[in-house]
Amino acid sequence: MEGKVLKICVDNDPILKIVASEINLEDISSNEIQQLLVDMIVTMKAAPGIGLAAPQVNVSKRIMVFQLPASRDNINGVGTPLTILINPTVTPINDSDRVSDFEGCLSVPGVKGKVLRYNKIEYTGYDEYGKFSSTIAEGWHARLVQHEFDHLNGILYPELMIEEDDLFSTNNENTFLEKWTKSAINKNWELK
C-alpha cells in the first residue's frame, strides 16, 4: 500500500481541540484504516517528526504513530521501533515522579516549550493487525507517548506549560506571545 503525505493541521484548527473517537477493532483491517496508518507514517517521516496523532491530519480517531530515534532516547540510547497505537491507554507508574523537558509539535510550528510529564508510564494499545500490547516506557519514550496521547484528547502541549518563560521560539521571533495567551481562569495557555 502506497502512502501519501497528508496536510498537517496547525494552531487553531478545531480538530486539534476535540476528543477523538475510538476505533472499532474489527475496522482496523479495513482499507480506510490501513491506508490512514500508512499515510500517517509517510506524513510523520516527511515532516520530519518523531510522532503523529490522527487528529493532526484531520482525522478524529484514537490512532497515533511514533518512532523515537536512538539519539533522543535519554534512558538507554536505543530508541523505539516504528510503533502504531490504536485506542491507547496511558497510566503513570508513579504520580510524583515527573520531569520537565522541551517539546515541539508539528501542529504548533515555530515554538518549543518546557512541559512537565510523568517520567515512567505503562501504555497499551492495538497495532495495525489488531494485536494488543502493553509497554513500560521511561524518559523521552514516555514523554513522546504522553504528547501524542494528549492530541487524542484535544490537548496541545503549551496548554500544559506553567511559566511564560518555559516557551521559546525556534526561529528567533517572539511568535509564542503572538499566538498564545494565558487564561486567567485556569492559568494555562490558550491559542489566541
Answer for the pair 84, 127: CB distance below 8 angstroms, yes or no.
yes
Shortest Å, Cβ 166 to Ni ion: 16
Nearer to Ni ion, 13 or 130 (CB): 13
Contact stretch for Ni ion (CB under 5 A) within 67-75, 97-105, 110-118, 122-130? 97-105
Least Å distance, CB 105 to Ni ion, is 3
Determine how many CB atoms are found less than 10 A away from the CB of residue 90.
19
- Residue facing Ni ion at closest CB distance: 105
Size of the site for Ni ion (CB under 5 A): 1
Residue 134, beta-bridge partner list: 124
Binding residue for Ni ion, selected from 16, 37, 68, 105, defined by CB under 5 A: 105
* Per-residue three-class SS string for 142-163: HHHHHHHHHHHCCCCHHHHCCC
Least separation in angstroms between residue 65's CB and Ni ion is: 12
- Active-site residue, 32 included: no
Q: How far apart are CA 49 and CA 116, in angstroms?
A: 20
Residue 147 CB, nearest approach to Ni ion (Å): 6
Greatest extent of the chain over all pairs of C-alpha atoms, in Å: 48
Q: Enter the C-alpha cell of residue 20.
A: 477523538
Q: Does 40 bind Ni ion (CB under 5 A)?
A: no
Binding interface with Ni ion (CB under 5 A): 105
Residues with catalytic roles: 148
